[in-house]
Amino acid sequence: MTKPKVQNYLHELIKNLSQTEKRYFKLLAKQQTPSKKNDYIRLFEEIDKQEVFNEEAIKEKFKGTPIEKRYPSLKKYLYELVVKSLTFYNADTLPSVRVRRIIDAVEILQNKGLYHQALRKLKKAEELSNEIGLLGSTQEIKRLKLHCLAKMNEFPNWDELSAFKHDQAKLSKAIQLNNEIYNNNLDMLAISNNKQASSGIVEPQNNLRLKDITQPKEKIELKHNKLLYYNSLRNYYELTNNLVEAEKFVDKILLLFHSNELQIKLLPTKYIHALFFKINYLKNQNKNNEIALFLEKSNIFFNDNTITYYSKNSDYGYFLNIEQEFYLIQNDLNKIFLQVKKVEDFVLNKRTKLGTSLHNTLLINLAWAQLRCGRNKGVLGSLKNIILKSDNLDYQNMIHSKKLLTTIVYLESKNFELFESSSKNLERALQKCDASNDILKELSKTFHKLLICFGDDTLQKIQFKQLHNRLEEIENSENDMKKEFIKSWVKNKSDFSRKAILN
């Protein structure tokens, strides 16, 4: 990994912020300096505009302004302010940050002589630290409690002091054990990095198995090190290239949550991402019943109003996308219809803030689902809501998917003039888009519907050349699918004579 130049650190930090983190920073900066022309925000926005850091261009931009005179100190303080805003922003989502902030508050209260208030804070910190396994913080909290009691002339008696020493010794052993696990993970990372450097391929140690991270022989209470045990599982999961072993690691992670050894409410992102990992493995194995079970677990998680964290919105969008794709593959029209309503309510809500890529992917899949339900106006509405950046290669496939979907709607609505006007875009899209499977199948179904309704003569008037040739490539393999589709389509159409269509 290339180390950035010193002057690039601020640019690197700003470009790594999410949109919500940027908004939070600006709110904090306005509180710090409530003037209309906030120099911190102006410098922040100017740096954020640059894809490649160019300090000379920034200096030129602010030439002759107060920013030019204090640029070095302003840039240094801006960096610290961004880090500070990140700390505050993540205080609720990262329990370890929350514990650290409570301990900082306790030390301030102690300096003020407010020992009763400090003890109340320490009680909350200790509960949280125990839940998530912050051993070092737990030791520090116990020492701070003892200090408060001593200052209040409530120093523990001999038995209580012996119990305190016993707890501290037990924590020290648990910390030692965690260090061994951590060092083992470092060894694994070193092996991985060495092989990556020599061959360009990450190949973890071949004999990596679950037995390598089973609980140690020494009988130490592991109540305090569940989080590190989770981290160990996660590290092994990321390093192994054996899919079977990787899935077992995910199962172990989920077991920590389902057995209440780790609290879902305290570590929501870790839990829901483990569910997503599991669903992905099940998708590869086509275990639809099990996928449905884990989708239900995810639904329960997102419907729990007591679980709140900053990235819940984007995680829910990702979940809806997984759910939507699953029902489309299953071709379950009832579920697809219900899912369409749910996704529409979420993604078209003005309060919903998603990353562009996730937003567009959701809308593309929503358009496919709307098409499957026969809601052509809804398809066009979804496509209009897509924010496309044609100069960004990441979105090229979405652009072509949009063109293909639009063309299908024109065909479905029997608007041949609009279809002809978009035929060039369609052919270009077919050349550029990875449309060998689902998209071509949808086009194939559409053409077969039109053939049944209008016959060859009408369709021959439409110039679709290359499209027709591409569709013929999947003719033989799709015959059974077409027969089933035609049967179900005829069954659900009332505006055509079933007998006439079948004849």
CA angle, corner 430, sides to 428 and 431, nearest 5?
Answer: 65
Q: What band does 501 get if pLDDT is binned at 50, 70 and 90? A: very low
Mean model confidence pLDDT for the chain: 69
Better-predicted residue by pLDDT, 223 or 323: 323
The confidence score (pLDDT) of residue 315 equals: 86
The mean pLDDT value for 177-197 works out to 57
Say if residue 10's pLDDT is above 80. yes
Domain assignment present for 46? yes
User: Which tokens is 390 given?
Assistant: 């044609």
Q: What is the dihedral of CA 218, 223, 229, 231, to 10 degrees?
A: -150
Say if residue 486's pLDDT is above 70. no
SS3 call for 351: coil
Say if residue 365's pLDDT is above 80. no
Q: Mind listing the pLDDT tens digit for each residue in 79-119?
A: 888 888 888 877 766 777 888 888 888 889 888 888 888 89
**Contact by Cβ (8 Å): 400, 374:** no
Better-predicted residue by pLDDT, 237 or 39: 39
Say if residue 404's pLDDT is above 80. no
Residues contacting residue 103 through CB under 8 Å, at least 6 positions apart? 125, 137, 140, 141, 144
Better-predicted residue by pLDDT, 372 or 421: 372
Domain assignment present for 179? no
CA nearest neighbour of 230 among 104, 124, 96:
96
Q: Which long-range contacts (CB under 8 A, 24 or more apart) does 223-227 make?
A: 223/130, 224/130, 224/133, 224/135, 224/138, 224/171, 224/174, 225/133, 225/135, 225/174, 225/177, 225/178, 225/181, 226/132, 226/133, 226/256, 226/261, 226/262, 227/132, 227/133, 227/134, 227/262, 227/267
Residues contacting residue 204 through CB under 8 Å, at least 6 positions apart? 188, 191, 192, 239, 240, 241
Report the range of poorest mean pLDDT among 345-349, 386-390, 477-481, 492-496. Answer: 492-496
Say if residue 259's pLDDT is above 70. yes
The confidence score (pLDDT) of residue 43 equals: 86
Say if residue 411's pLDDT is above 80. no
Domain assignment present for 202? no
User: Which tokens is 387 given?
Assistant: 């924010």
Q: Which structural domain, as residue segments, surrounds residue 73?
A: 6-170
For residue 472, count CB atoms less than 10 angstroms from its CB and return exposed for 0-12, middle for 13-18, buried for 19 or more.
exposed
Say if residue 184's pLDDT is above 80. no
Domain assignment present for 67? yes
The confidence score (pLDDT) of residue 201 equals: 31
Domain assignment present for 228? no
Q: Mind listing the pLDDT tens digit for each residue in 268-297?
A: 888 888 898 888 888 878 888 888 889 899
Q: Mind listing the pLDDT tens digit for each residue in 37-67?
A: 678 888 888 888 888 888 888 888 888 888 8
The confidence score (pLDDT) of residue 280 equals: 85
Looking at the 3D structure of the chain, how many domains does it have? 1
Q: Mind listing the pLDDT tens digit for each residue in 204-229?
A: 333 334 444 444 433 333 444 566 67
- What is the Cα 244 distance to its own chain's centre? 23
The confidence score (pLDDT) of residue 433 equals: 45
Domain assignment present for 153? yes
Report the percentage of the chain scoring pLDDT > 70. Answer: 56
Domain assignment present for 16? yes
Domain assignment present for 334? no
CA angle, corner 309, sides to 302 and 259, nearest 5?
Answer: 60
Q: What is the maximum span of the chain, computed from C-alpha positions, in angstroms?
A: 100
User: Cα(61)–Cα(46) distance, rounded to whole angstroms?
Assistant: 9
**Contact by Cβ (8 Å): 485, 445:** yes
The confidence score (pLDDT) of residue 458 equals: 46
The confidence score (pLDDT) of residue 243 equals: 74
The confidence score (pLDDT) of residue 503 equals: 29
User: Cα(387)–Cα(487) distance, rounded to whole angstroms?
Assistant: 37
Instruction: Give whole-number Cα distances, 64 to 23, 45, 456, in Å.
Output: 28, 18, 73
The mean pLDDT value for 187-203 works out to 45
CA nearest neighbour of 227 among 325, 159, 133:
133
Q: What band does 356 get if pLDDT is binned at 50, 70 and 90? A: low
Q: How many residues are given for the chain?
A: 503
Q: Mind listing the pLDDT tens digit for each residue in 12-30?
A: 888 888 888 888 888 888 8
